[in-house]
């Protein structure tokens, strides 16, 4: 299984492997889908952090 990236402090910081250990059957499919969603969520959060930093930087520079 791939690694799960969660945002805590630094955007996209690797916290470890997923907790799904059953690699066969329906549980594995659901676990893989959940893992993919968590990874996408972490990527989106990182983008939000970057966008927020850019907005704040530009607002401060305009004043």
pTM, whole model, 2 decimals? 0.51
Across the chain, what does the average pLDDT equal? 76
Average pLDDT over residues 1-11: 51
The answer to whether 43 and 2 are in contact (CB under 8 A) is no
The answer to whether 7 and 13 are in contact (CB under 8 A) is yes
The answer to whether 22 and 29 are in contact (CB under 8 A) is no
Average pLDDT over residues 37-55: 97
Domain count, the chain: 1
Q: Identify which has the larger pLDDT, 9 or 37.
A: 37
* CA gap 60, 22 in Å, rounded: 50
CA–CA distances in Å: residue 58 to residues 14, 30, 39: 29, 42, 29
- Per residue in 16-37, pLDDT tens? 544 545 456 777 888 889 999 9
Domain range for 24 is: 3-62
Give pLDDT, residue 12: 46
């Amino acid at each position: 299984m791939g690694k799960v990236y969660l945002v805590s402090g630094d955007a996209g910081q690797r916290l470890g492997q997923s907790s799904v250990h059953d690699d066969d059957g329906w549980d594995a499919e659901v676990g893989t889908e959940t893992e993919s969603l968590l990874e996408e969520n972490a990527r989106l959060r990182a983008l939000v952090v970057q966008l927020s930093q850019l907005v704040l930087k530009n607002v401060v520079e305009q004043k």
